[in-house]
């Protein structure tokens, strides 16, 4: 089945629900059983069948099935947020004494989790250059159990050579996890590129409407899948059926939305490149981006999120720009239908490869509005920036 057909059909079972197109929202903690034998049977396969609310409901199981199918994996697990998916992955795989290789351009809260929770547990993290590629082999130690990737990187958008990293990691028996949120399950096929576990902050493009938090992890190894499920149940990480339903609803239009996000983002990014206030646009879909060749080789599209490096300007000038935007709202998160803008200046922590840009920087999420309106909004913003005394 082609991707668009999968997005439409995966995880739907109308025959189980009186012909209803969608799996309903099941509100359930208790599941009852008619006989002792049935109770025992369901308990034995508690990861596949509703057994108790904390293990999942038909709604969360449907989401897991759908996301796994679309991302190209055998198994999927639903988690209450993207951060939950990251934490559950790290806590399932790593033990005290283990070593983790973490990409330097990772999502900030993931970095925080490594530096606090993992450090407390006696798990050592080494940050590596996002552009390291096969050179990661030199950082592998006998204790390295996991190499964690995120491509393109949060805020800075470097594209990683995932196949080369995966090959080096697998040579010494380490697993590879990828935060695949930027590409969504549609624009990067992790399991054809050597990834063992793929993480989605489904809060972003899968939900797609800025109205729910949700995470997913997909993978092919059954033993690891059962260990992950065990972690989630043990920690009490249960995903609400309402959120799972919203994730499924978002998934059905994911392909159509992403196509438009990509078209709009390219139009806005190309326009920004030509503005005198802009030093560089960080978007691998642009032909002159340093990550373009890897992106073109490994990805099938670009989503609506990119960075902008502005020429030197004062804090007051950037504030004058941001305070007056009409269509771009200021906010964390992204992946919804609406455009967002965020100042990222001075907010890019690095340890392996310093981030040297001295000027202001922004992150834009280009939504589904008409790009002409978005461009006019940005031009007016840049005019405010220029007019404001430095």
Which range of residues in 33-41, 201-209, 216-224, 285-293 is near ligand PLP by CB under 6 A? 201-209
Backbone angles phi, psi at 384, to 5 degrees: -60, -40
**Rounded CA separation 259/157 (Å):** 19
Based on the shown chain and the rule CB under 6 A, indicate whether residue 201 belongs to the binding site for ligand PLP.
Answer: yes
* Closest distance of CB 82 from ligand PLP, Å: 2
For 182, the enclosing helix (H) or strand (E) is none
18 is catalytic: no
Residue number with CB closer to ligand PLP (193 or 204)? 204
211 is catalytic: no
Q: Of these residues, 3, 193, 204, 280, which one is catalytic? A: 204
At residue 68, the 3 state secondary structure works out as helix
Q: Of these residues, 179, 196, 298, 377, which one is catalytic? A: 179
Which range of residues in 36-44, 75-83, 261-269, 350-358 is near ligand PLP by CB under 6 A? 75-83
Q: Where are the alpha helices (DSSP H) in the chain?
A: 3-9, 36-44, 58-71, 82-93, 108-113, 119-120, 162-171, 184-187, 222-235, 241-252, 254-273, 292-298, 315-323, 371-387
Residue number with CB closer to ligand PLP (21 or 332)? 332
**Rounded CA separation 297/231 (Å):** 35
* Closest distance of CB 205 from ligand PLP, Å: 10
Q: Please, are residues 316 and 388 in contact by the beta-carbon 8 Å criterion? A: yes
**Rounded CA separation 143/121 (Å):** 15
107 is catalytic: yes
179 is catalytic: yes
| Contact with ligand PLP (CB under 6 A) among 177, 213, 310, 325 | 213
Site residues (CB under 6 A) for ligand PLP, limited to 150-169: 150, 154
* Closest distance of CB 107 from ligand PLP, Å: 4
**Rounded CA separation 22/241 (Å):** 13
* Closest distance of CB 237 from ligand PLP, Å: 12
Q: Which residues form the catalytic set? A: 54, 107, 179, 204
């Amino acid at each position: 089945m082609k991707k668009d057909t999968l997005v439409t059909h995966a995880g739907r079972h109308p025959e189980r629900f009186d012909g209803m197109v969608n799996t309903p929202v099941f509100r359930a903690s208790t599941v009852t059983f008619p006989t002792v034998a049935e109770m025992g049977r369901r308990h034995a396969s508690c990861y596949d069948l509703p057994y108790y609310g904390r293990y999942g409901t038909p709604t969360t199981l449907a989401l897991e099935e759908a996301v796994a199918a679309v991302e190209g994996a055998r198994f999927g697990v639903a988690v209450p947020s993207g951060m939950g998916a990251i934490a559950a992955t790290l806590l399932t795989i790593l033990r005290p004494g283990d070593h983790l290789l973490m990409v330097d351009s990772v999502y900030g809260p993931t970095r925080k989790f490594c530096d606090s929770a993992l450090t407390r547990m006696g798990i050592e993290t080494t940050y590596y250059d996002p552009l390291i590629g096969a050179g990661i082999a030199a950082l592998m130690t006998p204790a390295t159990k996991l190499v964690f990737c995120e491509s393109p990187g949060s805020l800075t958008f470097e594209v990683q050579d995932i196949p080369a990293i995966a090959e080096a990691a697998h040579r010494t028996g380490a697993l590879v996890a990828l935060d695949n949120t930027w590409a969504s399950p549609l624009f990067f096929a992790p399991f054809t590129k050597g990834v063992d576990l793929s993480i989605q902050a489904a809060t972003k493009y899968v939900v797609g409407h800025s109205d729910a938090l949700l995470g997913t992890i997909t993978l092919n190894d059954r033993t690891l899948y059962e260990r992950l499920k065990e972690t989630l149940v043990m920690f009490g990480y249960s995903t609400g059926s309402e959120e799972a339903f919203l994730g499924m609803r978002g998934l059905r239009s994911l392909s159509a939305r992403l196509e438009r996000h990509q078209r709009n983002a390219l139009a806005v990014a190309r326009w920004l490149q030509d503005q005198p206030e802009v030093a560089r646009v960080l978007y691998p879909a642009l032909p002159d981006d340093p990550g373009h060749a890897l992106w073109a080789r490994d990805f099938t599209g670009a989503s609506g999120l990119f960075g902008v490096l502005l020429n030197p300007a004062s804090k007051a000038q950037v504030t004058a720009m941001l305070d007056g935007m009409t269509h771009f709202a200021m906010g964390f998160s992204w992946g919804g239908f609406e455009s967002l803008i965020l100042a990222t200046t001075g907010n890019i922590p690095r340890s392996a490869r310093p981030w040297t840009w001295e000027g202001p920087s922004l992150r834009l999420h280009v939504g589904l509005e008409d790009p002409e309106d978005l461009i006019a909004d940005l031009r007016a913003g840049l005019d405010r920036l220029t007019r404001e005394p430095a």
